Amino acid sequence: MSAKVKQSNKSADKNTNDRNDVASKENDAEKANPQWKLISHEQINTLLDLTVEQVQFQFEEILGLKNYQTCLKEASLLDYFVSGFWWTREMNYTCQQISFIMALLQLLLDNISEKQMPFVDNLNEFAKMISGTRQSPSPEVDSLFDAEQAMSITDYLKCSLFQNYQLYEFLFSQPREELLLGKKRTIEVISSADFVAPLEEGMNTDDYLHYMTPVEQQEEGQRTSQEEDGEVPGETALEQEQENKATGLEGYNVQDVKDVLGDMTKEMLGTLQAEFTEKLRVQEESFSTRLEPLKHSACKQLQHTS
């Protein structure tokens, strides 16, 4: 009975050791090839089937960037991660490889924003991460990237992050003032009653009456001006109506009078033109009659001379 118990305990210990070995290998693999914690491999598979606009929309939700259209920092972060993911998609990397590259992008950016790590130190950190992917955690498992892929990742980060390292340092270290997109202006309207009126010699009389005097004074001034000109307000229309009755034009408007005058003018011009034409014809005949004897005398003189 005791032998069976000992054998059972040995089997249990072996299974425990095996599980510990697997867990240790997984931890070593996780340390050597860290994965991005923000998205899972299933989400990465979903993102691989989307367009770049849809990927950008998903990363807005994943990264929590709500003001990227007005905030330069959020716009730069969104472009940084979307460009990196799209590049891995074009390189046809696996989900594990894509997750590692996204985690690498996150680490290098955190070194700038949180640790203010200099360029050389951050470059060394990147070199350690890439060299770790070339080392397999166990003989049964292949390395995460081959030499050509590691070189491609190096070239991409050289052009995207390290070449613009000072810009990213400035982005995370220098505060930015909020731009004023609008202005509010208040215009105070001046009342003429609160100020001394200018001298009459300083401006035109019409402008003074129109802009400076109250409405009642303007009306009074207009009536005074009409009276000085011999016009009495209210009587002009009455006089016009009486004149129309006297001339027999009552019931006609201005256009009717213009039409009648136009017809009369055409008729008078036509009569004058006919009279002028007739007088011109008579004068031509009279001139021809007087010219005939002269022509006859001239012919006789020419015959005598010849």
Q: What is the pLDDT of residue 250?
A: 57
Contacts 24+ apart (CB under 8 A), 103-111: 103/34, 103/35, 103/36, 103/37, 104/34, 104/129, 104/153, 104/157, 105/80, 105/81, 105/157, 105/161, 106/36, 106/38, 107/34, 108/157, 108/161, 109/77, 109/80, 109/161, 109/168
Q: What is the pLDDT of residue 175?
A: 78
Cα 147 to the center of its chain, rounded Å: 48
Cα 80 from Cα 171, distance rounded (Å)? 13
Q: What is the pLDDT of residue 272?
A: 79
**The dihedral sign for the CA sequence 251, 255, 258, 262:** negative
Q: pLDDT class for 287, splitting at 50, 70, 90?
A: confident
Domain ranges of the chain: 17-173, 200-230, 253-306
**Tell me: the pLDDT tens digits for 23-63?**
444 454 455 578 889 899 999 999 999 999 999 999 999 99
**The dihedral sign for the CA sequence 136, 142, 146, 152:** negative
Q: What is the pLDDT of residue 255?
A: 73
**Tell me: the pLDDT tens digits for 135-163?**
655 555 567 888 899 999 999 999 999 99
Using DSSP's 3-state secondary structure scheme, residue 253 falls into coil
Mean residue pLDDT of the chain comes to: 76
pTM confidence score: 0.50
Cα 103 from Cα 84, distance rounded (Å)? 11
